Amino acid sequence: MARDLAPDIERLLQFRDPNIRKKAALCSIRIIKKVPDLAENFMHPASSLLKEKHHGVLITAVQLSTDLCKVSSEALEYFRENCIEGLVKTLRDIANSPYSPEYDIAGITDPFLHIRLLKLLRILGQGDAGASDCMTDILAQ
């Protein structure tokens, strides 16, 4: 069933409505957990979702990317090459963003997104000195 639905889910990841993209990303996470062979189908859509401004889509895209990196070494290399600077910029923007009451918890802007981004950066930085160098400034901050 997952193999049959994967092309439709992949198409929905580029849908205009952010709520549909978020649900499609959640569905993609379940698909790659059940059928890891389909991971390569979701690498490019997941990397495009990492540039989202909508927090719900962004947090699911980060989780999708994390799961892709866990099941596929090809995906890990792809995200290392193409997404580290964008992820570091997103983390920097969230850490330095002004007060936003809808995502603020105890003075920290969207701590759940912070945690997911840090977990993904940890996976991407393991064993790669270039990736680690890219993220040292924001981690020190």
- Give the span between the Cα atoms of 110 and 101, in whole angstroms: 10
Total-model pTM = 0.86
Domain assignments of the chain as residue spans, ordered by start: 1-140
- Which segment of 15-29, 43-57, 121-135 scores lowest on mean pLDDT? 121-135
Q: Which CATH class is domain 1-140?
A: mainly alpha
Structure confidence by residue, pLDDT tens digits, 67-113 = 999 998 898 888 888 888 888 888 888 777 765 556 666 667 778 88
- Give the span between the Cα atoms of 104 and 101, in whole angstroms: 5
Task: Take residue 65 and report the two structure tokens written for it.
Answer: 């990317």
Structure confidence by residue, pLDDT tens digits, 113-128 = 888 988 988 888 887 7
The angle subtended at Cα 82 by Cα 43 and Cα 89, nearest 5°, is 115
